[in-house]
Copies of this chain bind each other. A is one copy, B any other.
């Protein structure tokens, strides 16, 4: 039993948890830069709760609300320059995966000069601005991971920065911020979290603690499937999904992801398919591929979800995700050649070759082989 467990983020959950715990910001610094997108943090009330908490705690702040979906490298360098100019000494990221991923890179780049090449090579000092995170979707789990995923045009895919420096100091989970999300976004993000739990259990880096948390996360998401299908989510379901997504974040903080994420990145980069949806489209076929060599792992995932057979999960995913995008054999060939080079392929217990990736893409999209 050789493993490590490390997750230093203080997770604070519950209704109005930001204002109730406003003093926690004081330990991070004296001037915050809020990193977020243009709209949703304003619409769902999270940005206002943060700025009011900061005012009550007598902390100055500036707002950088230029983070786009699937943030680029240019965006995070711009944010870091803004943080330096403003003299911000800590970062508060509010939003879905994009502002959180950007917030981490901004906090790193604001604390030290790092060239673009060195950023992805992990060549930097042990310095970063402290961070507080407020997820407003229940999917990425970025609030408790040491990863920042950026769109890397040079590599024509998404590339991750991974260092324990990137663990936020604080994560505030308030389900109310997710209550106005449309059903499609809610489904896509829930499937992203589900994929983290499932890939975490499949990963060769799974450990006893990550497995316990993954099963709990998977079980909680499974409990919401009916409401997701019916579009009848209550406030309690919203809280449950946010909780499950955080747990799944703790899981991938230890296990990394697998071929599903590697393959999904191309669907997002080239075809603009939402990240969670991209994972969901590939999940069942990847599980079938893995079941050939590791039926035990797949069985314990299926059991945790409350199913008897993988086909039941497959059917539910199809119902949740609806009609699939058109994809050509040429596209599949290209995406497979990119995905096979990704680091997380090495986390698969049954290691796929390029031809296996082609088969998984092909069957996932219902193309004739």
Interface of A toward B, CB cutoff 8 Å: 1-15, 17, 175, 208-209, 212-213, 216, 239, 243, 247
Contact = CB atoms under 8 A, between A and B. Distances in A.
A6 B6 CA distance: 11
Given A208-B243, A216-B212, A243-B208, A4 B11 contact: yes
Nearest to A27: B126
Contacts of A208: 216, 243
Main secondary structure of the interface of A (DSSP, over half): mixed
The number of times this chain is found in the oligomer is 2
B13 A2 contact: yes
Contacts of A216: 208, 212
Contact of A7 (B7, B13, B239): B7
A4 B8 contact: no
Contacts of A212: 212-213, 216
Contact of A11 (B5, B213, B239, B243): B5
A209 B3 CA distance: 20
Contacts of A213: 209, 212
A10 B15 contact: no
B5 A10 contact: yes
Given A4-B13, A209-B247, 6 more contacts: A1-B13, A1-B14, A2-B14, A4-B10, A6-B9, A212-B213
Contacts of A2: 13-15, 17
A17 B212 CA distance: 22
Contacts of A13: 1-5
A341 B12 CA distance: 30
A151 to B, nearest CB: 31
Contacts of A12: 4
